[in-house]
Amino acid sequence: MTETSPAWTLSGFGDEIDADPVLQVGVLQALGARHIEVRSAWGVNIVDLSAEQLNELRTVLVDRGMGVSAIASPIGKVDISLPAEHEVARLERAIAAARVLEAPYIRIFSFFRAEDRTAESIRDDVLVRMAALAAVAEREGVTLVHENEKDIYGDVPERVLDVIESVGSDRLRVAWDNANFVQVGVRPFSDGYAMLRPHLEYLQVKDAIAATGVVVPAGEGDGELLETVTALRDDGFTGFASLEPHLADYNALGGFSGPAAFGRAGRAFRALTDRIGVTLS
């Protein structure tokens, strides 16, 4: 009997390719992906798309046989000083988009803070807001995945774990990003993998150079990508791996690569998964 290779589902941030969803889909499909992560379309953020735009986007994706892995929302990528209701309202819009696009996950963050405030000083406010978001997710039957974006409360493994365990909701899980950990001085696999693996449900794929913070394709930086994907394979991970290359430009709200650089990032990741015997589809 032939042993079946582990299989992960490849996806990617379409707006890193182009503002036009048609081109987004074309490049992703050329890389062998049949799913897309939606952060924006036609230059409009996913939580700001009108009902008509969402339906048009759905038509583009359905006509081309493209599924949606996640709504890459900006929720929680705001200062902690804003009231909790601000992000709860935006989550409602993200959930509406997830319904239209049939996305199983919604990406969120755990809040920025002013430069004169410590992470510890905002902990209680963060947990109040994250619990409120999780309560909405539980009510609506969607799953939130927290990304370890640099400079938010949950930017290092210990505080990511604090958020997940303190909220204690099955509807709040971890979206793991190696490059973001590198950019805050963390060795992703060595320092965080064992701690967060029980909660890790979604993989965002990029790498970075520790000395400079510059983002590079998977396997070309200090993000311990090979160690991470090998451990995920051995742990039986079968979820989404979403390309987020950030190779041309990036800022607090997102990044861009363009079709050529995005393709380079996709091929670099596939080289890693081929090396460890994981099939991407």
Domains of the chain: 7-280 (3.20.20.150)
Distances (CA, A) of 251 to 26, 109, 169: 25, 15, 30
Whole-number pLDDT of residue 5: 84
| Bridge partners, 212 (sequence order) | none
- Per-residue confidence band for 258, with pLDDT thresholds at 50, 70 and 90: confident
Residue 69 has pLDDT above 90, yes or no: yes
- Per-residue confidence band for 4, with pLDDT thresholds at 50, 70 and 90: confident
Mean pLDDT along residues 139-145: 98
Rounded-to-integer distance, Cα 162 and Cα 78, Å:
19
Mean pLDDT along residues 45-69: 98
Mean pLDDT along residues 256-276: 92
Whole-number pLDDT of residue 2: 44
